[in-house]
Structures are given as structure tokens and as C-alpha cells.
Amino acid sequence: MYNIKFESYVPEPDPATPDRIVAAHYYAAWKYGAAEVHEGFCDLAKDFPDRTPLMGYYDEELPEVADWEIKWAVEHGINCFIYCWYRKAYNMGKPISVGDLRCGHGLHEALFNAKHQKYMKFAIMFEASERWGGTDEVDMLQNLMPFWTENYFKRGNYLLIDNKPVVFVYNQQRLANECFKSAESQRATFDACREYARKEGFDGMIFAVMDTSLDVEKYRDALARGYDFRFGYNSGYKAPCDFYEDEDDIVRSQCAIFKKHLEIDPERFIPTPSCFCDPTPRFSQRWNDLGYAFREWMNIWYLSPDNFRKLLREMKRITDALPENAWGRRIMMIDNWNEWDEGHFVAPSHKFGFKYLQAIREELTARDNLPDYRTLADQGFDGYNRSWPTPDFKELCEQRLKEKK
């Protein structure tokens, strides 16, 4: 029975039960015009229709879109989204409003108005790369912490561990080179943030840094700067696909790299199993602007859903054997929920359906639920594209790309 609408809204999720925090990185750049540094779904329209989300091109700011994503995620064991969080460069050192954020719609328009948000924990990953606003000793306490505390930490579904809000940080290199005066200064600032959180009713804060270097000195520097543990946005390697003999070799390589991190410290590095990585749609449009530096990133690695399942199983086996207080036993990251054009996603797509999510559910949960695999059309729901150009979508996107060059 198809195209019959038994529900008036996104059906209630039936969550699976994972044995740990399973946190998927979430890149909220799919509101028309929001990405700024790339063209969103326009990057896919001409040559990459297989990457079309299962719900079609969508307006990410819609709460109903967030509810479908929550339902699909929690029914397969993903119980936390880690949102990339950007402040615009001009806002550095100033009080923050929602209007000062890049891609803030994912949280403030979509998730925070979603009916099913209670099922999904969320956290932020502070993006401090060069094109976005950084911070310093004063700004972090006077501007970042008040905004984060009131808008995020005090919400009932923010990720707390031991009653401590968790903040993930991307691009520690810039914080070290441009933002804080020294490692001691950064650590003192983080400690002041922990005290700020205590005064707001928490038991401190947890800071995690995106750092996949195997350099022991860099690891020691991260600890000296006050971070509690390290993680990767992916598995942390860039070799081209022909470096690997087959997909089994990719599984072995990801696990081997994770083990090398554990040799440095078995307690303070968490795994980020990666399904595949091919950012060709994003970067191939812009050789004139970006030069050829990104050629090394094309089609970096690929795991089929079956081999991604093997990777998850092995990562779980490794982490289950870690010391009891190891962060890797408490959190496993997933690369990635929705990097559609950068080329790593587990969200339902026309190419893979729910297969990557099924692998997560089968390897990381008790499989104690019954996921709903009907498409939106099967359930009588219309698409969620109100702003991406139609019907001449490809032609309009091509024209926009030409105008950008």
C-alpha cells in the first residue's frame, strides 16, 4: 500500500539502544545560499545525481526535515549530532547573536523547533579555521561562554557527560598560533570556562580537540592546553585509493591508525570510523579559484556498506578492550551524517538507501526496535524543497557556478 498518508506528521521515532554515545558529525550547509564557500546541492546537480538525499534536495532549516533526520538516526543507534558551529569573522571579540553565525539554521531554526528533538542529543564543534572568527582569553569568557550556555548547554538535550557540557574544537592549530598567547594561557582559559559552567549549575566542562597527528609532542601540547581527549573528523589519512589493495585493506588501515593513537595514550583518543571520502563535487567546480592543491583529495577512500559494517565491528572490539575509564569506550563518532558534496555521509541517499545506517544499527545497538524503511512518497509525504531552483535546477546551478568564477 503506497502513497497513503496515515500520519499527518513525521511518525514518532522508535529508537534502537546503543551501548555508548554514537555521535555523527553534522554539517548544516543545506539551506539555499547558506554555505557561502560552496554551492550546496548545486555542486551535485549536474554530474552527481546518485548523491541525492533520499528525501530529495531539501530546505534544511525546516523543523520537519530535522524530525525525519532524527527519526532515521535514532532508529539506527545514532543518538547525538555534533553540529559544526561557526561565528563569522567580523564577530570576533563581540557579543554573539544568532545572526552572527554561519549555518546557524541547523540548530536555531530546525532542531530547536523539531517535534522529536527530545530523542536526539546534540553538541557543537567550534570551527576556528582561518575564514571564521577565532577567540582569545577575554572573548571566550565574555562572549562565547554566555552564548553557548544560554542557547545550548541549558537545553535538555545538549550532550552532557558527568553533568559537564562537551565542546568539540576544530583546528587547534589556529587557536595555538593566533588566538591564545601560550599553552598555559589556553589551559587557564579553559579552566575558567569550567568554573563558569560550575557557577551555572554544571560540574565543569569537557573540551575535545580534532587532532589526528601521531606526533607525540603535538599530543602532549593538546594536554597542556587543557583538552580532555582527541578525535578525528574522519579517520585522519589522505592517501589516494590506489594506495590500498582492496576494501579490506582500508578497514585494516583505519584500525591500524586508531591503534597507533592508542599506543600514545589508550585513554584519550576516540574512534571515528569513516565510510568513504570523495569531495570531487565540491572541489572540481573551482580549480580556477583554488588551484590544484585539492587534487590529492579526490576519491580518497571508499568502503561499501558491508565493509563499513566490518570496520564498525572491529572498532567496537578494539574499544571494548580499552581501560574502563577510556574515552573510546564511551563515545564512537561517525563520519559523517550529511557531507553530501564533500563526499562522506551515512544519511539515507538514492545511491545507498539506508545501508550505512543499517550497518551502524546492527553493530552498535541492541537491535531492539523496528526501523521504518518506507520512503516519504510511500507514506504520502511531499518533498521538502521550497527554495532550491526547479524545474530547471541543473541549468540554474550551472549558471550560478559560472557567475562565481
pLDDT digits (tens, 9 = 90+) for 111-146: 999 999 999 999 999 998 878 888 999 999 999 999
Is 381:9 a contact under the CB 8 Å cutoff?
Answer: no
Position 397 scores a pLDDT of 57
Would you state the cell numbers that stand for residue 361, as one nine-digit string?
A: 544499527
Q: How far is CA 310 from the centre of its chain?
A: 21
Alpha-carbon span 181 to 120, nearest angstrom = 37
Q: Is 330 exposed, middle or buried (0-12, 13-18, 19+ CB in 10 A)?
A: middle
Would you state the cell numbers that stand for residue 191, as one nine-digit string?
A: 579552566
Position 292 scores a pLDDT of 44
Query: Which helix (H) or strand (E) element contains residue 188?
Result: helix 183-199
pLDDT tens for 302-337 read: 899 999 999 999 999 999 999 999 999 999 999 999
Position 130 scores a pLDDT of 77
Sign of CA dihedral 231, 234, 239, 242: positive
| Model confidence band, residue 298 (pLDDT cutoffs 50, 70, 90) | low
Has this prediction a pTM greater than 0.85? Answer: yes
| Strand 301-302 to 276-277 pairing | antiparallel
| Model confidence band, residue 395 (pLDDT cutoffs 50, 70, 90) | low
Is 122:79 a contact under the CB 8 Å cutoff?
Answer: no
Position 167 scores a pLDDT of 98
| Model confidence band, residue 297 (pLDDT cutoffs 50, 70, 90) | low
Residue type, 220: R
How many residues are present in the chain? 405
DSSP classification of residue 86: E
> ∠ CA(396), CA(398), CA(400), 5° rounding?
70
Query: Which helix (H) or strand (E) element contains residue 255?
Result: helix 247-264
Side-chain-side CA neighbours of 280 within 13 Å: the count stands at 11
Is 83:131 a contact under the CB 8 Å cutoff?
Answer: no
Alpha-carbon span 228 to 327, nearest angstrom = 9
Place of cell 520512503: 375
Phi/psi at 348 (5° precision)? -55, 130
Cross-strand bridge partners of residue 53 = 349
Phi/psi at 373 (5° precision)? -105, 15
Peptide bond into 391 cis (omega under 30): yes
Place of cell 544499527: 361
Position 405 scores a pLDDT of 47
Is 128:170 a contact under the CB 8 Å cutoff?
Answer: yes
- pLDDT above 70 covers a percentage of the chain that reads 88
Phi/psi at 71 (5° precision)? -60, -50
Peptide bond into 336 cis (omega under 30): yes
pLDDT tens for 77-115 read: 999 999 999 999 999 999 999 999 999 999 999 999 999
Residue type, 135: T
Position 133 scores a pLDDT of 86
